[in-house]
Structure 1
Amino acid sequence: MAGEVVVDALPYIDQGYDEPGVREAASAMVEEECRRFRPTKNYLEHLPPLNVTSFETPMMHTEFERLQNRLPMDTMSMKRYELPPPPSGKLNEEKAWFECVENSQAQLEHQAVRILNLQLMLEYCCPAWQRYLQTLSDCEKIAMKKIAVLRQALQEVNWQRKSLQTKGGEQLKSLEAKWVALVSHNYEIEQACCLAEEYILNMGNQLKTYKQQREEYLRQQQQQQQQQQVVAQQEIEEDVEEKNDETKKDENETEIEEAEDHSQEQVENITTNQDDED
């Protein structure tokens, strides 16, 4: 809602206000905000303009002007209580003496009025003062009743605030406990995820290493097979050559034997022929 002030403080359940340094920190924050705050609108525009001179009387206005101009205050005039004779230049004038007599009569009348006021005060002051005191007492009783009603309303507001804040505090504690549990659970999940990622990374590295080792092993096996094939081929070739050599040797021996046999037969034939001739 526009213009609504949201107060996030719960003084009935918040703790730590009496700890050392808290008040100083709060005062420093308030001073810092007051120093940085720059109002952008007039919050008193709905109120009429303030007239600070509405209670001033002409005398007060004159006195304020005197104070503003730093002029000394006029001393109390005692001329009304004096009975001056005519000036020295008018001692022989009847009019001047009549003015002095009129002034004296005015002073006497003024003093008579004051004496009458004192007599009236002595006669009626006590009852009037008692009535005034009774009026003040009645006003005080009325004001005290209003104060009691306001204090009762204030107490009810405070009790209502305390009840609401206590219930809100219980809900906040419950929600805070749930939040802590969820945060802890999220932390455990994050930790488990980190361990799983680390395990997967390790397994990936191990798999890469195993693949490399397997490729190296296959390459070595292939090389060994190729070497074995080469060796086997060489052995086969050597066996073939040996067999060929043996075959050739056997053929040569057979030819030699046949040649010897043939020679022996020829020798025998020659011998036989010689014998026949003899």
Structure 2
Amino acid sequence: MIERTRFGGKVAVITGGASGIGAATARLLHAEGASVVIGDLDAAAGNALVTELGVEHTRFIITDVSDFASVTALIDGAVAAFGRIDVLVNNAGIGSLSSIGALPVEDWKKVLAINLDGVFFGCKAVLPEMVAQRAGAIVNTASASGLAADFGFAAYNAAKAGVINFTRTAAIDHARDGVRINAVCPGPVDTPILAAIQGIPGLRADWEDRVPIGRFATPAEIAQVIAFLASDAASYVTGIAMPVDGGLTAHTGQPNLPRVMSVLASAEPSS
């Protein structure tokens, strides 16, 4: 029996919902009463999550967010299954790592197609439903990398910055339609998108040391913020890009001088 709490009777659609932040969000919203429709290209993982959560209040629809027709089919499928859509989480995304000169044009286009076009497509497809019912919440997964620059991530940075300003524009365009639109900006999270580069010796320790909290986030921690923004508790919140980054973007990037001075002092020979 599902406990009907914050999202009792509501319907949520989550792109990139088969793994990582998307799957954590699906689990949380479902646990709090929502019927959940998962859109993803990974049919095995998506169907496994439906089996885990139960078929009564969960569906999986294979979705390519870079294709507007595919996203429209996801939205139409959710309405057909559950009658309405109250929450859309545009979460699907991919990374890239390359200098600008070496970045293939097709890679640039693919990153922007999934990370930015996919958000636009999701909003464009769902807004008629939400505007008609005069209610709805959209949460777009941006990134701390949309708030500042990273070495070698030109396409990803550009796409996520685009998500943030698109979110602001969409929010003010539809604020009086009863639709709230916000973005979350995660820092480093333990998800498959970071798995490959985390295998580099010493990288994770160095990366975590740069985060004031001192560790990566879990997908569940990001899901909690997404759920807040999607919930009625955030009824007066729209158009924001909320960092969920352990203090990463609050830091100028300069050295931790108190710690350095403490290390030097402890290393000085006693007289």
Instruction: Tell me whether the two structures share a fold, i.e. TM-score over 0.5.
Output: no
Compute the TM-score of the two structures, normalised by the length of structure 1.
0.21
Considering fraction of residues, name the structure with more strand.
2
Larger radius of gyration: 1
Considering fraction of residues, name the structure with more helix.
1
